[in-house]
Structure 1
Amino acid sequence: MGGLEAAAARETGSRLEAIIEESFVVLLPNHADFDRARAWLSRFETGLRAGDALHLAIASNRGAEAIHT
């Protein structure tokens, strides 16, 4: 397996940035998100890791109806 040439890597990075700006909303976590994540983490049977709990809390607190991974 080879790596990308520098020009191709720059083009790929630029395309990714464009897709992110056009298609995604970046949400910063707030206090309520950390509280919800902490509550889920205290339920050990969930098996959630901290990062996963925070991502789910952010989505949940903003009314996400589905999570696609």
Structure 2
Amino acid sequence: MSKDKDNKKQKEYTIASKNLERCLDNMTNAYSTYDCTGLIPSEPVNDAERESYNEVYNYLPPDSKA
């Protein structure tokens, strides 16, 4: 390959890398990144199980009696 083609490919790679980095940065700022999504695999079967999940992560609204 010629030197110009090598330089062009390197610039394209650099631009693509920066775009990917920006996309990943935006994704890590998503709310769900910091949330415990998937915490509860199925509905708790009793109050003790519900309370146990709630000790790990307070997922219920304040007035909820779920």
Fold agreement, TM-score > 0.5? no
TM-score scaled by length of structure 1: 0.31
Instruction: Choose 1 or 2 for highest CA Rg.
Output: 2
TM-score scaled by length of structure 2: 0.31
